[in-house]
Structure 1
């Protein structure tokens, strides 16, 4: 199977997931709490489940030997050479609030290494996708290659995080040391912020408590656009956890140094 063929299939997965999700957006859909009140509110909707089921069915039919790692259902064949990593709605809290800052994350790993990824926002009709070597955008504004922007200093950087309230107290204190240094910080966005790094509008993202399905599909997009993704210690971030994403390696290095000092 060639890289071109996988690209076509990634778009096909985006099509079927989008068709499953859109009938639920900005409607009176039911919302469940995955924690059942035992921890911070973690919502899941019928749209999440419908989209993941649609993608899983298509993968099983098209590539029965591939593995699947999803957010809503049991893992399948994680020892396979190729494993699909799915997050049907990243940003469910924005979704249930009617805000468009959410997206479907579709990733593919080969021997555990991310090799394809996409963020699809079907309501806005935007797709950000890449294979680690090149990344592209497709949407109402046309189609173009994605490229990060240069940013020499942390003091010039635009920083995003979903919310500091999602961080533990110690990690939040370390995050604040970076936040005090940057030119501007903004909250929210979930997966959309990562795509803005790839598109050259945001310089830095710092997060904690991510799952692998939150980040694996985004790594080939960011790296394909020229960016870098690691954990807070500079190691690969494929397992999730604490993540630092930057468009410029100079800002990435300064952010890691500042987090370590904090």
Structure 2
């Protein structure tokens, strides 16, 4: 999923090669509590990122970010485009970009 989105945009953070599929690579380390889990969504709210994809998150990780991003003019949904916090995935973005990212994310489904 991350590789599809990374391949459809001009720049990603962190600056990794998201398209290189290495089946032997270990799973990415989940950010420690209180650090990176919500940082990307807050950068969207601050206008410093266009979008942030959060995977493997619990509703408690996602729910507090929704009003912050929305009050700043941003958009939230899960990867199916629904307003749900129980799917483990959240996409926060500026409004004009949101549907395009959902289309890219679902392109190979």
1:104-123 superposed matches below 5 A: none
**Which structure ranks higher in relative contact order (CA pairs < 8 Å, sequence separation ≥ 6)?**
2
Q: Give the structure with the larger helix fraction.
A: 1
State the Cα RMSD in Å.
1.5
**Which of 80, 89, 93 lines up with 1:246 in the alignment?**
93
Query: If the length of structure 1 is used for normalisation, what is the TM-score?
Result: 0.32
Partner deviation per Cα, 1:131-170 (whole Å, 9 max, x = no partner): xxxxxxxxxxxxxxxxxxxxxxxxxxxxxxxxxxxxxxxx
Q: Give the structure with the larger strand fraction.
A: 1
Residue 239 of structure 1: CA displacement?
2.3
Query: If the length of structure 2 is used for normalisation, what is the TM-score?
Result: 0.73
Partner of 1:175: 2
Partner of 1:213: 60
1:94-113 superposed matches below 5 A: none
Pairs aligned (count): 88
1:1-262 superposed matches below 5 A: 174-187=1-14, 189-247=36-94, 249-262=95-108
After superposing on structure 2, the runs of 4+ consecutive aligned residues of structure 1 that deviate more than 4 Å are none
Q: Give structure 2 stretches of 5+ with no counterpart.
A: 15-30
Residue 240 of structure 1: CA displacement?
4.9
Q: Give structure 1 stretches of 5+ with no counterpart.
A: 1-173
Q: Is the 8 A contact 1:215 1:237 kept in 2?
A: no
Rg larger in structure: 1
